[in-house]
Amino acid sequence: MFSNKEEFKALFLQRLEMTYGKSFNDSTKWDQFHTLGSMIREYISPDWIQTNERYRSTGTKQVYYLSIEFLLGRLLRHNLMNIGMEEVVSNGLKELGIDLDELEEVEADAGLGNGGLGRLAACFLDSLASLNMPGHGCGIRYKHGLFEQKIVDGYQVELPEQWLRHGHVWEVRKADLAINIPFWGTVESYTEKGGLRFRHVDAEMITAVPYDIPVVGYNTNTVNTLRLWSAEPSPYPINKDILKYKRETESVSEFLYPDDTHDEGKILRLKQQYFLVSASIRSIIRSYKRNHASLLKLPQYIGLHINDTHPVLAIPELMRILLDEEKLGWDQAWEVTTKTISYTNHTTLSEALEKWPIRLFQPLLPRIYMIINEINERFCKDLWLRYPGDWERIEAMAIIAHGKVKMAHLAIVGSHSVNGVAKIHTDILKQREMVRFFEISPEKFNNKTNGISHRRWLLKANPRLAALITETIGPSWVGNPSSLSHLGEHLNDQSLLGQMNAIKRGNKESLALKIKEKTGITVDPASIFDVQVKRLHAYKRQLLNILHIMHLYKQIKDDQSFNMHPRTFIFGAKASPGYYYAKKIIKLIHAVADKVNHDPKVNDKLKVIFLENYRVSLAEEIFPATDISEQISTASKEASGTGNMKFMMNGAVTLGTLDGANIEIMEKAGEENIFVFGLSASEVLNYYQNGGYHSREYYHLDTRIRNVVDSLGNGFFPGVGDEFETIYDSLLMQNDQYFVLRDFASYADIHKQAGKAYENEQGWLKMSLMNIAHSGYFSSDRTIREYADDIWNINSSPGAVR
């Protein structure tokens, strides 16, 4: 391969011309990107082979992280950084007249996820490889990732995303490892050696073809695997409409469902889930059997982790393999299965809990349904022994009830570990949402507070801040992010604070340029960059933010003496295409932006920006340029959040509710280094349980609230008519389920405080520094170590030094 700049250049030129049959001078950016990518992938290959060899020969336990989403983003710069070749390549390219920054922009984001859940999976892969842990990902190779968002007239328009248009340079197709997955058909029984056995017959097959992507650890020779499955139509059935069959099979890996909270209730979604699980587990068992004689020892060597309930069919699928193919008895199969599988819960929102109607489930997956039925009967029998006569409880806990399969119940019953994703979330699971399951198996429940890769979100996204940190406390934080805490010893270092300030300012200037380019609007980098970027959802309360901005606007207009530090409010958010209410909020943000940005009376104080198509690569530009991080969900609703951690690590100060991981951010950074407002989770849950909230009271008693809420319908926005009636009604007619008006006053107050704090530059920089210093806990390396120790029982398994 290459080990220095000259070798790199020579190989790059040779490869480019050989592959594309054109001279370097005629090559396009895309030719250059693809050439570089394929060189890096080959560079990685020997370590990839070695890693698999090492895992095999040492017989170490390996974990497979099953997830319906992996939100990877771009890989070029990340891989270059991880293999330590960023400088060699960047300098070599420069001498050829190529700017690596520009080349990086050519790569499409691998956007195979909706938001936090998928991005968590990507950070976990990064941490597993960087910690030399034997852990791999299993997912679906959607032809189209999360839709591309365009804003037209203030409305969201969705376009199919096209990340595979030019191919994906990092993947390796392995057609010889394809697996046929059966759907439909019937179950036949037969007897063998006196025992009753079952087999699935007359099924329609869909072929799952694996595409492997190397997951490169940072500064190590461990390369794990992300295996993504693609649905293909071979073998073609005889006597069938071939075109129809082709369309139907390919549709299984065509689109990522653009919804991160609602149960779609679509048969295609269920197909995707079984497709992922069956292909993954069967390929895992296939390679397991090459080295092991008995499936009884599976849990010693293999862990299967299910990221939320989407892959929960792993439980009946593993049972099916053990019963029908390996001919184990039920009790043995059940013990192996539960010891192998562990489960993460991501939400307590009831609309997000997956429930499948039997009438859809049973015909599509007849044998899997039979097995779930048996699991349910045995489980209910056990419950009956424990709670004789308590029908109400047994009905509530059953896996199948009222014509539906409850996926979360199956996940809890069929796994040995159930974890929440932040302390408060796990407490709510244990004390409320899953209290009855906690009662019968408390040992299963545990917390694993989410984390983010400090390599992608600090080292890569904010290289100048990373360099300053290294200059200040040495390089050890990169391998051991908890040592970021040493920054705290430099709290009074004026020069450090000054440099931090300059770096933030530089990042804000870059973002301001981007904003100008994308929206045509000029924003002042000296203003406070106040940012809310995340999926658009009622519980995340972008509405509270925009109503408060309307209030500020009115104040500036109406009160000559009103003064505040200038602010730029920045939003980024995709709404699920069928989520009417969320789309109205996007329109409202644009209506406010339109009014504010074109009013010269307020423009030295206030700007509102919506950056379209929020995704990983855009996020990497936003976090480093943020002063205030808006984390304002209705308390108890956000399981953890991970955006909050990315902001913190880049020196933004959180303004938020005591929800999800915000609470732990406060505990780590200190109460004086965060702005907290609003109802607590227990206050919210108390309202839900006992009533007592009447949004109209807040509307009538607080003129600020009345003013902004009335503006939704009184001609304040010219030409929008009754556009915002739904929002108005949600606040006053439907009693404001998410307590927007209840928290408004407290939110306005905390904003005042934050604005005042910002004017004290030294004080602000210290707050910022303390946030960075205590962000090490939120590295996904810490999270993964906890999973490894407490749930998976796997070890770091480094290879020999290169």
Ligand X SMILES: *Cc1c(COP(=O)(O)O)cnc(C)c1O
- Sites of contact with ligand X (CB under 6 A): 115-116, 119, 534-535, 615-616, 619, 641-643, 646
- What is the closest distance, in whole angstroms, from the C-beta atom of residue 781 to ligand X in the complex? 17
Question: 504 an active-site residue?
Answer: no
> From its phi and psi, is residue 493 left (phi > 0), alpha (psi between -120 and 50) or beta?
beta
**Three-state secondary structure readout of 154-193:** CEEEEECCCCCCCCCCCCEECHHHCEEEEECCEEEEEEEC
Neighbours of 619 (CB within 10 A): 22
Considering the complex, state which of residue 274 and residue 677 has its C-beta at the smaller distance from ligand X: 677
Question: 756 an active-site residue?
Answer: no
Catalytic residue among 320, 346, 455, 584: 346
Distance CA 668, CA 648 (A): 11
**Cβ atoms of 143 and 211 closer than 8 Å:** no
Considering the complex, state which of residue 44 and residue 619 has its C-beta at the smaller distance from ligand X: 619
* Residue whose CB is nearest to ligand X in the complex, by number: 643
Catalytic residue among 646, 742, 774, 782: 646
Question: 642 an active-site residue?
Answer: yes
At residue 14's C-alpha, the angle toward residues 10 and 16, to 5°, is 120
Catalytic residue among 136, 540, 637, 751: 540
**Cβ atoms of 59 and 287 closer than 8 Å:** no
Distance CA 125, CA 28 (A): 32
- What is the closest distance, in whole angstroms, from the C-beta atom of residue 118 to ligand X in the complex? 8
- What is the closest distance, in whole angstroms, from the C-beta atom of residue 736 to ligand X in the complex? 22
3-state DSSP assignment of residue 406: strand
Per the structure block, which two tokens stand in for 363? 């015909």
- What is the closest distance, in whole angstroms, from the C-beta atom of residue 151 to ligand X in the complex? 17
Distance CA 200, CA 203 (A): 7
- What is the closest distance, in whole angstroms, from the C-beta atom of residue 425 to ligand X in the complex? 12
Catalytic residue among 534, 567, 574, 774: 534
Considering the complex, state which of residue 547 and residue 665 has its C-beta at the smaller distance from ligand X: 665
- What is the closest distance, in whole angstroms, from the C-beta atom of residue 514 to ligand X in the complex? 16
Considering the complex, state which of residue 116 and residue 366 has its C-beta at the smaller distance from ligand X: 116
Considering the complex, state which of residue 320 and residue 637 has its C-beta at the smaller distance from ligand X: 637
Residues 6+ apart with CB under 8 A from 795: 60, 61, 133, 788
Distance CA 355, CA 353 (A): 6
Question: 540 an active-site residue?
Answer: yes
Closest CA to 29 of 86, 107, 90: 107
- What is the closest distance, in whole angstroms, from the C-beta atom of residue 540 to ligand X in the complex? 7
Closest CA to 479 of 449, 452, 455: 455
Catalytic residue among 347, 568, 626, 642: 642
3-state DSSP assignment of residue 634: coil
Considering the complex, state which of residue 533 and residue 727 has its C-beta at the smaller distance from ligand X: 533
Q: Helix, strand, coil % (nearest 5) of the chain?
A: 55, 15, 30
Catalytic residue among 136, 535, 548, 590: 535
Considering the complex, state which of residue 181 and residue 616 has its C-beta at the smaller distance from ligand X: 616
Question: 193 an active-site residue?
Answer: no
Question: 29 an active-site residue?
Answer: no
Residues 6+ apart with CB under 8 A from 626: 529, 530, 531, 570, 647, 650, 652
Which residue numbers are catalytic?
A: 346, 534-535, 540, 642, 646
